[in-house]
Structures are given as C-alpha cells and as structure tokens.
Amino acid sequence: MFIAINVVGLLIFFGLAVFFSHDRKAINKKSVARLFILNLFVGWFLTSFPIGREIIAITAAAFTSVIGIAYEGIAFALPNWVNVPQMNFITSALLPLLMIVPLFDMLNYFGIMPFIIKWIGRALSFVTKSPKFESIFSVAMVVLGNPEVQAVTATQLKKISTQRCVTVSMMSMSCVSAAIIGSYTQMMPAEFVLTAVPLNVINALMVTQILYPVKISAEEDEITSVDSNSGKKLPFFTFLSHSIIGAGKLVFIVTVMVIAFVSLANLADAALAVINPAISLESILGLIMFPFAWLMGLETGEAFQLAQLMGTKLVTNEFVAMLEAQPLMENFSRHMQCVFTVFVTSFANLGTVGILLGTFNGIVDKEKNELISLNVKYMMLSGIIVSLISAGIAGLFTW
C-alpha cells in the first residue's frame, strides 16, 4: 500500500509542476520524458543495484576519510573540541569545511573540476536533449554552489536571453555544493545524501523545463564551459589563502544563521504560546506540509514528523532541520531516513532566494534582474518540487 502511495505521490508532484507551468504548450515533452526516465534509473541504480550501492559506499568512505584528516588539523589547534565523547555541531560538521572548501577550490584552480563539469554536462545534454548551457550549469551547481556558480558563468549569463536567466535562477534553488556535502554526511546518512545529489541535478533540469519552458534555437544553444579562473590568475598561495579565508567566512555564516533561525523559531513558539499553548511553529508547518509528506508513502505519525521537518527546512535552512532530526534518526524507518535526507539535501529555502537575487543583480542587466525578481514564486516552487520528486524517487526504491 505504501509503495502505491509513493508512486501516486510522485505523479502528483509531477502534476503540480505541469499545473503551475508558465506555458504548458511550450513544454518539451520528449526532453522531460528522457529526464524523468533517467532519474528513475539513477534512483534505482544508486539505491538498489549492487554496483550503484558500491559506488555510493566508496564515495561515502572517501568523504569520511577526508573529514577524518580534517579532524586531525582541528585537534592540533583545538584538542579539547575534538577529543571529547560527543563533538558539537560546529566542530563535527562545520570546521572540516576549512580543509574541504580549499580542496575543491584547488581542483578548480588546476582545471580538473571545470573539465569534469564540461564533459558530464555535455553527456547529460546529449542523453536528455536538454539545452547545453543549462545542462552544464546544473552539473556546475553541484561542484560550486551559490553564488560561485553564477560568478564563474557570468559571461554566459550576460549573453543568454532574459527568459533563460529565469530558468537558471530557478535551477540554482536546487543546488548543493560538493564542499558542503561533507558536512551533511556527518549529520545524515551519507548514502542518502550522495544519492540526492545526482537526482537534484536531473530534476532541476526537468522541473524548470516544465515550470518555465523556453524555446531555444540551435544558434542560441551554445556549449559553455565553467572557468573558475577567468581574468588574471592569482599566484597559487595567494589563491589558497583567499580560499581558506572564504571557508572561514562560510563556517561563520552558517553558524550565525543556525543560531539566529533557531532563536527566532523559539521566539515564534513563545509568541504563539501566548495565544494557545498547544500551537507551535512546528505544528503549523506540519499541517501545511502533511499532505506532501504523506504522499511519500509513510505512516501517519512519521508523515507528520517529516512534514514538520520539511517545513522547518523551507523557512530556515537545511542545517536547522538536520539538527532537529539528528537525535531522532535511529527511531525513523529506513524509508523515512531516505526521504527526509534527500528532501533536505539542497539549498531550497527562503534565505537562498535573497542570496540569488543579490547575486544576479550584480551580474546581469536591469531587464534580466527585474524579470528574475518578478518570478520569485517560480524559484521557490522549483526548489520545493525538485526536493519532493527527488525524495519520492529515492524513497520508491528504499524500504
């Protein structure tokens, strides 16, 4: 029964994208069908096929090894933060970014990541018949994250049409940078975090083609590469210093955002308790998101828990939702662990909308920026539907 509900849920999530489409007649049905089939295959391959599961296990082990090395550096400077029975959130999930971010930046500096991005993007475009730039952009999102991916594709963003800029802004809601995946794997089951990444790449392409279809001529559909070293290339050690400082800023930003969002949520709960002690922000979010959570194929109790966590993620960020769920994960069913982890593995939340609007404002012209601003609802809708479909597909093969 629950599998049947999961299948129906997937169809409903897909139907929501079609229902809210900006122009249903312009949807490239063949491309969307190819993307949907590819997504089902990837979901099955990574969760149920032995080789796929082995790939996930090896990748998870690699991330664990890298983070273990990062802990050695942290312990050198702060031994009393690491050599404890239970590390705090900052130490376990965020401080490793001081090594992981520069590691990925070095791979970009030496041209390794741009090469991988370009050819995976080309392959994705060839298989699915999706636009070339959008395909490469969707892959680049995984490596670079926001706002770096917009910065390194700025030249192309200035050249493409205004409508295509809107679709790119929508796709950006579903990205999650490779550097920060290491933090996620310390908080959530690594196998599901890593499964979510390729699903989100494909779904971002598919959902944006449904929600905001744009006709692109052969002349417009030019192949674009990602060049993280556009302009004058800094000396390596200067570049590395900037990268490490940038990583420190990221750790600080995530820390203060988590503190602020949790405090504001508690403040909201206190205000609601004055009206009625039984009302809380979590219960309100749970009621709103419950139908979507139930359609994941869960029992009522778990569906309501998932709904609360989904709502928390959308109005705050994924770290807040993960911190709330972390103590409960052992009590969740495997299916619940899967759909929750995949749903929260993205930057789709209200805060990201503000970041993206500011980023595009500094890159594209006034006309493009105004149209992006007018389509904020599509940006948020895209992020939510991508997360729902990715979670639904992963959950379909995980029981």
Whole-angstrom Cα distance, residue 385 to residue 287? 18
Where are the alpha helices (H) located in 78-177, listed in sequence order?
Answer: 79-82, 89, 97-109, 112-128, 132-144, 148-152, 154-159, 162-172
The confidence band for 74, taking pLDDT boundaries of 50, 70 and 90, is very high
- The stretch 113-118 carries a mean pLDDT of 79
Residue 79 lies in a domain: yes
- At residue 84, the pLDDT reads 85
Tokens 């229902």, located at residue: 19
Q: What is the token pair recorded at 71? A: 């802990």
Is 37 a member of any domain? yes
224 in any annotated domain: no
d(Cα 388, Cα 32) in Å, to the nearest integer?
17
**226 pLDDT exceeds 70?**
no
Q: Indicate whether 230 belongs to any domain.
A: no
d(CA 354, CA 347): 12
Give the separation between CA 362 and CA 1, rounded to whole angstroms: 50
pLDDT tens column, 172-224:
888 777 777 878 888 899 899 999 988 998 999 999 999 999 888 777 777 65
Angstrom distance (rounded) from CA 200 to CA 124: 13
Give one DSSP letter per residue of 249-262, joined into a string: HHHHHHHHHHHHHH
CA 122 to mean position of chain CA atoms: 21
Range scoring the smallest mean pLDDT among 145-149, 200-204, 330-334? 145-149
Please name which of 243, 252, 239 lies closest in space to residue 102, comparing C-alpha atoms: 243
Q: What is the pLDDT of residues 347-399, one digit of tens each?
A: 777 777 877 887 788 788 888 888 888 888 898 899 999 999 999 999 999 88
Choice among 62-76, 112-126, 382-396 with the minimum mean pLDDT: 112-126
Residues 103-119, mean pLDDT to the nearest whole number = 82
Please determine, for residue 11, whether its predicted confidence score (pLDDT) is greater than 80.
Answer: yes
Number of domains into which the chain is organized: 1
Is 228 within a domain? Answer: no
**Percentage above 90 pLDDT, the chain:** 30
Q: Is residue 152 included in any domain, yes or no?
A: yes
Task: Give dist(CA 179, CA 185) in Å, integer.
Answer: 11
Predicted confidence at residue 375, as pLDDT, reads 87
Count of C-beta atoms within a 10 Å radius of residue 58: 9
Which amino acid is located at 9 in the chain?
Answer: G
Q: At what angle do helices 281-294 and 236-275 cross, to 10 degrees?
A: 110
Q: Which two tokens stand for residue 346?
A: 């993205």
What is the model's pTM? 0.85
Q: Give me the pLDDT at residue 41, please.
A: 93
Listed ranges 6-20, 60-74, 145-159, 262-276; the one with the highest mean pLDDT:
6-20
Return the pLDDT at 223. Answer: 65
For the chain, the residue count is 399
Please, where are the H alpha helices in 2-96?
2-19, 29-47, 50-77, 79-82, 89
Q: Is residue 221 part of a domain?
A: no
Crossing angle between the packed helical segments 132-144 and 112-128, to the nearest 10 degrees: 140
In a domain, 265, yes or no: yes
Q: Which burial class, exposed, middle or buried, applies to 116 when counting CB atoms under 10 A from its CB (0-12, 13-18, 19+)?
A: middle
The per-residue pLDDT for 318 is: 86
Lowest mean pLDDT among 106-115, 223-232, 371-380: 223-232
Cα 270 from Cα 279, distance rounded (Å): 10
Measured in degrees and rounded to the nearest 5, phi and psi for residue 229 equal -120, 30
Question: What is the domain range of residue 111?
Answer: 2-215+239-396
pLDDT exceeds 70 at position 232: no
Q: What is the pLDDT of residue 12?
A: 95
Q: Quick one: pLDDT band at residue 109, thresholds 50, 70, 90? A: confident
Buried/exposed code over 88-106 (b: 16+ C-beta within 10 A; e: otherwise) = ebebbbbbbbbbbbbbbbe
pLDDT at 105: 83
Lowest-confidence segment of 70-79, 222-231, 388-397 by average pLDDT = 222-231
Q: What is the pLDDT of residue 38?
A: 93
